[in-house]
């Protein structure tokens, strides 16, 4: 949201499509590998946590 706001603040509207690209890269590069590590380490506890909690809080 901050990046999107800065893009609009600086009138760099053509850069706005890069915001979803950044989110996609962050998810693929950091979020999914971290979830896999947590899934291996905590197993059932992490599965219960995932059922109650959305990925992007």
SS3 letters across the chain: CHHHHHHHHCCCHHHCCHHHHHHHHHHHHHHHHHHHHHHHHHCHHHHHHHHHCCCCC
- Would you say the C-alpha torsion 5, 34, 52, 24 has a positive or negative sign? positive
Looking at the domain assignment, is residue 41 inside a domain?
A: yes
Looking at the domain assignment, is residue 1 inside a domain?
A: no
pLDDT the model gives residue 56: 79
Looking at the domain assignment, is residue 55 inside a domain?
A: yes
The tens digit of pLDDT for each residue in 22-54 reads 999 999 999 999 999 999 999 999 999 999 999
Looking at the domain assignment, is residue 48 inside a domain?
A: yes
- Number of domains, the chain: 1
pLDDT the model gives residue 10: 93
Looking at the domain assignment, is residue 56 inside a domain?
A: yes
Looking at the domain assignment, is residue 9 inside a domain?
A: no
Looking at the domain assignment, is residue 21 inside a domain?
A: yes
- Average pLDDT, stretch 16-21? 92
Q: Is residue 57 pLDDT above 80, yes or no?
A: no
Q: What is the pTM of this model?
A: 0.77
Residue-number span of the structural domain to which 24 is assigned: 17-57
């Amino acid at each position: 949201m901050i990046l999107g706001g800065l893009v609009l603040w600086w009138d760099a509207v053509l850069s706005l499509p890069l915001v979803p690209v950044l989110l996609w890269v962050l998810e693929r590069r950091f979020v999914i590998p971290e979830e896999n590590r947590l899934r291996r380490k905590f197993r059932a506890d992490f599965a219960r946590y995932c059922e109650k909690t959305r990925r992007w809080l």
